[in-house]
Amino acid sequence: MSWWHRLLRRKKMEEQLEKELKFHLERHEADLISSGVHPDEARRRARLTLGGPEQVKEECRDARGTRWLEDAWQDFRYALRTLRQKPGFAAVALLTLALGIGSTTGMFTLVNGVLLEPLPYPEPSSLVVVHGQSSEWNAELFGQQNVAYQDFLDAQRSARSLDMAAALFNGGTLSEPGEPEYVDFREISPDLFLVLRVPLSQGRAFTPEEDKIGGAPVTILGYSFWLRHFGGAPDALGSSLRLDGKRYSIVGVAKEGFRLFGQEADLYIPVGQNPARFLHNRAAHPMHVVARLRPGVTLSQAQAELSLIGRQLAEAYKDTNAGRTFLVQPFRPDVGDVRPILWLLLGAVGLVLLIACANVASLLLARAVSRERELAMRVALGATRSRLVRQCLTESAVLGLSGGVLGVLLASLGIRPFIAFWPGALPRAEEVQLDWHVLLFAAGVSILSGLLFGLAPALRAPFKNLEQTLRAGMRSIAGGSRRLHSVFVVSEIALAIILLVAAGMLGRTLLHLSSLDPGLDIHNVLVTRMALSPSALADPAKTRAAWKDILDRARHIPGVQSVANVDTFPMREGDNEQAYSTTPDQVPVNKLPFALMTCASADYLKVMGILLRRGRFFDDHDDPKSTQVIVIDEVLAQNAFGSQDPIGKRLWIPEMGYSSNAFEIVGVVGHVRHWGFAADDQAKVRAQIYYPFSQLPDSFLRRWSELMSLAVRTEIPPLSLVAPMRSELKGASNDQVLYEVHTMEQLASDSLAQQRFLLLLFGIFAALALLLACIGIYGVLAYLTGQRVQEMGVRIALGARPADVMWLVLRQSLGMIFLGVILGGAAALACGRILQRLVQGMQPSTASAFATMIPLLVFAALIASFLPARRASRIDPVIALRQE
Amino acid sequence: MNPKTDLPQGTLDLLILKIAALGPAHGYAIAQRLEQVSQHVVQVPQGSLYPALHRLENRGLLAADWKESETGREAKFYRLTRKGRAQLETEAASWERLTQAVGLILSLSGGAE
């Protein structure tokens, strides 16, 4: 019989015990009678030999091994009763705990979903990613390199340790069905879904025949795309769509919510059909490669095999593959820079939870002191120390767990609004949910906090001076607990200081960052990506003409002041970085400095309001036949030429891919905060080079046209121009689209969104901490002065003035505040370092944060202590003394 | 009647197991047999008999069934489990060794005086 079984059948076991003992007594009695003893004497003797029946029963119950549980149940009911007796105390404690545990649980839910959960594919542990690795590649600067398509094919064919699949990120214009629209698609190897073990929701995957040049054009729809464009109708299979002028028949629909590298694509097409040159060039590395280890194969075995294949390829294709190999890494979700932020926030709510615990602990302690007599009585009646400690702990565990239940409720309600409120898109937000990990965490946190705030009151259960406690009556002595109380208040203040100073530092940082000069005029600028008509991309002359037409048309739309096309612009993702040199010598690229490359048309400077420091920007005379020109920013000018005048000097850009790598500098412009307000100062690549769109070689035009955006300076609110621009620029065959429309103001503001978001959260946490600390101080002082009413009465009766009494109380609280500020200040200094490491653009100037936040806290704390102090000063000595 | 000695610590369990090994018995029968076989030399505290029985049952050394007793009333009969038999053997053996050793020491002649 297991212990829970025994517990459940407790009643039956009691009956059986009773029956067993009764049987024993009766048999003994009968035996004694038959040996001639008088029945009354027989009964007496039988009972005497067995011993007191209740005592025997009690010992038998102990022997059952379920005793602790029965006690726990008893303690539990007792705890509920005592909590019900003091609904005010219970409500405050529960609310405090619910807030603390709820916010911690909520934040952990995010951490769990975003950082801890494995990838949402079956058996994620056997999935790996394969990167390209080369001695010339600066992985620290650019991240891991992808793989050349032909290298992928060779490796896929010969690898025995893993099954590989590849995907190429691409985008294009969908012209049928419906209005023309930009779609995000992936060109994939046909076995991608197989390798990931994600079934399609409908239809079939691509066949190897379809993965060849000239294969039948087929496509698989993303689930959301299918819902959006086909209303989720099953007859989408077999119908067709037109992508970049080519008709594809639909053969399948991906699974709902299927994402690859964190994104849900609109369409999938077989990569093998793409005749593009870069897919046959081993020097271009566009493919993202995932692979599944075959059963029993370890990561290092797979790495060893791929290294070997890499060496063979390097032998066979010396020009392109020398020094190049493959790197196999575990497939982990890419969550960007969210990781430190999430841990930071979890730490911050952890502090709030600690404050909540300290608060509840001091409340409990106050109650425990007033229950001293009750506990002493129980000890006198034979309760053991461990039994009393257990009972006190049960009470706090009940409090903790009920707080936890409320907290989980709070977290489950709050988590979605919070994610919606997250600046930008929280990666893997769709995987954030309250699962059993979170529940386990919440239960752990609740029990732990229950222990944390319950232990101190429990351990001070009275054992020494039992008699004294009983005799002292209501006049219990608060001396011993005063120090414990102070510990809680001091730690609350210290924790609150940490959060307040952190909030203060974030506030300072935000102020500082917003006051920086972005290097451009962000007002009244509209930026939008622009997809040319596929027919215009066929031939370079047509492409140039199409862009000229677009710029001309856009310039004449009412409200447009100037317009330019540009490939990358500030404060938006996506950039192009190239190594540059001031000499024509051959230097390995990874030894050279890098600059941000921006390809723009003549009016770009005017549109963005960037200052021209020297020389000129581009004009119509810069064409493919004239001297190749560039314009540099002041950072590059300073880095490369110091105090010399850079105009007329030349830069060599070895990997530019133009027929000549030499470029003449014709102008110097102001530095633009390309990486946003916060990140630019620490960015690895800051120098900037502009090169004219009009000088792009023919071979670049197609690819660059796919990357181009329009930048427009407007005389009217920029967003009001979107509709007229759309209709004016849609092209003769109605297949040119604008997408990803922003204003520069939005982008600039988004670049500070993280800091603003953190400031807001820390502000809330700090305010909460301040409030809790004040409640704590108030509660503790009110309680301590309550304990000293008679003492105060005596003092007043002996001639103390109200001010003296007030000072007596305030002095006590000042001592605690002072100690708390010192400890908290030291901790805040350390936390400031962490913030500085984790938050971009964080200002180290902590002094002002300390200077504003500490007085704020001291002021609030003094107000909280003023009320009990005033009450103490108004004690009527007659009443106070009569209470005795 | 000889003056009764107290049962050495921990031997009650051993004795109970030994008696149960002779066949299923209820608590009263065990108490009586204990008294009989110890020839009234050892004082068996009846009050601790039942807690000991329950403890042994809880540890799985004894199993219990409710059966009709010799007087026709239902009683709780304890019997030795396989685990209990193994325990009995090891404990009996170690008891044997202990008493031998103690006997040996006590039979040493002279010495320290």
What is the span of the domain harbouring residue A594? 533-735
Q: Which helix (H) or strand (E) holds A325?
A: strand A324-330
pLDDT of residue A478 exceeding 50, the answer is no
Same domain, residue pair A287 and A207: yes
Q: For the segment A506-539, what is each residue's pLDDT rounded down to a tens digit? A: 888 888 888 888 889 989 999 998 888 888 888 8
Q: Which of A509, A530, A481, A544 is nearest to A707 (CA)?
A: A530
Q: Which of A20, A49, A65 sits opposite B27 (nearest CB)?
A: A20
Same domain, A324 and A355: no
Residue of B13, B35, B54 to mutate, testing the A interface (most A Cβ within 10 Å of its Cβ): B54
3-state secondary structure A447-470: HHHHHHHHHHHHHCCCCCCHHHHH
Distance from CA of B12 to the nearest CA of A (A): 15
Which pLDDT band, with edges at 50, 70 and 90, does A615 fall under?
very high
Rg (CA), chain A: 38
Residues A327-356 have pLDDT tens digits of 898 888 777 677 888 888 888 888 888 888
Q: Which residue of B has its CA nearest to A51?
A: B47
d(C-alpha A171, C-alpha A231), whole Å: 22
With a CB-CB cutoff of 8 Å, which residues 22-61 of chain B face chain A?
26-28, 31, 45-48, 50-52, 54-55, 58
State which H helix or E strand residue A290 sits in.
strand A288-293
Nearest CA in chain B to A24: B28
Indicate whether A325 and A190 sit together in one domain: yes
Could you tell me if residue A94 is inside a domain?
no
Examine the domain organization and report whether A506 and A614 are in the same domain. no
Q: Name beta bridge partners: A164.
A: A291
Instruction: For CA atoms A853, A507, A678, A835, give the dihedral sign.
Output: positive
The 10s digit of each residue's pLDDT in A627-641 is 999 999 999 999 999
How large is the average pLDDT for residues A486-504? 87
Which residue among A312, A330, A348 closes a domain? Answer: A330
Residue A494 has pLDDT above 80, yes or no: yes
> What tens digit of pLDDT does each residue of A374-415 get?
777 777 777 777 777 888 888 888 888 888 899 899 888 888
Q: What are the Cα distances from residue A489, in Å, to A70, A217, A486, A780, A808?
A: 36, 72, 5, 8, 17
Interface test with B, best of A17, A21, A23, A68 (most B CBs within 10 A): A23
CA-closest candidate to residue A331, choices A557, A492, A162: A162
Residues A601 and A679 in one domain: yes
Q: Min CA distance, A503 vs chain B (Å)?
A: 59
User: Are residues A658 and A683 located together in one domain of the fold?
Assistant: yes
- Examine the domain organization and report whether A631 and A774 are in the same domain: no
The string over A786-825, giving b where at least 16 C-beta atoms fall within 10 Å of a residue's C-beta and e elsewhere, is ebbbbbbbebbeeebeeeebbebbbebbeebbebbbebbb
**Domain shared by A557 and A690, yes or no:** yes
* pLDDT-based confidence at residue A557 (cuts at 50, 70, 90): very high
Contact A63 B54 (CB under 8 A): yes
Instruction: Please identify, among A735, A769, A788, the residue that sits at the C-terminal boundary of a domain.
Output: A735
Residues of A whose CB is below 8 A from B46? 49-51
Closest CA to A458 of A395, A544, A548: A395
Query: Among A306, A315, A324, A328, which Cα is nearest to A159's?
Result: A306
Are A23 and B31 within 8 A, CB to CB? no
Interchain CB distance below 8 Å, A56 and B73: no
CB A567 within 8 A of CB A599: yes
Contact B52 A27 (CB under 8 A): no
3-state SS assignment for residue A630: strand
B11/A contact by beta carbon, under 8 A? no
Contact between chains at B27 and A24 (C-beta distance less than 8 A): yes
Give me the interface pTM, i.e. the ipTM: 0.84
Say if CB A781 and CB A478 are below 8 A apart: no
Interface residues of A toward B, Cβ cutoff 8 Å, are 16, 19-21, 23-24, 27-28, 30, 49-52, 55-56, 59-60, 62-65
Query: In this structure, are strands A267-270 and A181-188 parallel, antiparallel, or unpaired?
Result: parallel
Calculate how close chain A gets to B48, using CA atoms only, in Å: 7
Closest Cβ opposite residue A50 in set B46, B58, B66: B46
- The DSSP letter of residue A474 is T
Tally of domains in chain A: 4
Give percent above pLDDT 70 in chain A.
Answer: 94
Contact B54 A60 (CB under 8 A): yes
Nearest-CB residue to B50 (from A21, A30, A49):
A21
Chain-chain contact of B46 with A55 (C-beta, under 8 angstroms): no
Nearest CA in chain B to A63: B55
- Please determine, looking at this structure, whether the domain spanning B5-106 carries the CATH number 3.40.50.150: no
Size of interface A-B (CB pairs under 8 A): 53
Contact residues, chain A, for B34 at CB < 8 Å: none
Mutate to test the interface with A, among B33, B50, B69 (most CBs of A within 10 A): B50
Question: Where among A330, A354, A381 does a domain terminate?
Answer: A330
Are A463 and A356 found together in one domain?
Answer: yes
Same domain, A425 and A320: no
Residue A63 has its nearest CB partner, among B26, B51, B73, at B51
Domain assignment present for residue A112? The answer is no
CA-nearest of A705, A708, A707, A712 to A742 is: A712
Q: Give which of A777, A799, A817 is closest to A877, Cα–Cα.
A: A799
Both tokens of A243, joined, read 């992508």
Residues A324 and A349 in one domain: no
Report residue A836: phi and psi, to 5°.
Answer: -60, -35
Pairwise CA distance, residues A216 & A246, whole Å: 11
What's the DSSP call for residue A147?
B
Residue spans of alpha helices (H) in A330-384: 338-370, 372-380
User: Model's pTM, two decimal places?
Assistant: 0.69
For the segment A774-786, the average pLDDT, to the nearest whole number, is 80
Number of H helices, E strands in chain B: 4, 5
Report the alpha-carbon distance of residue A397 to residue A73 in Å, rounded.
Answer: 12
Residues A722, A597, single domain; the answer is: yes
The nearest CA of chain B is from the CA of A397 a distance in Å of 29
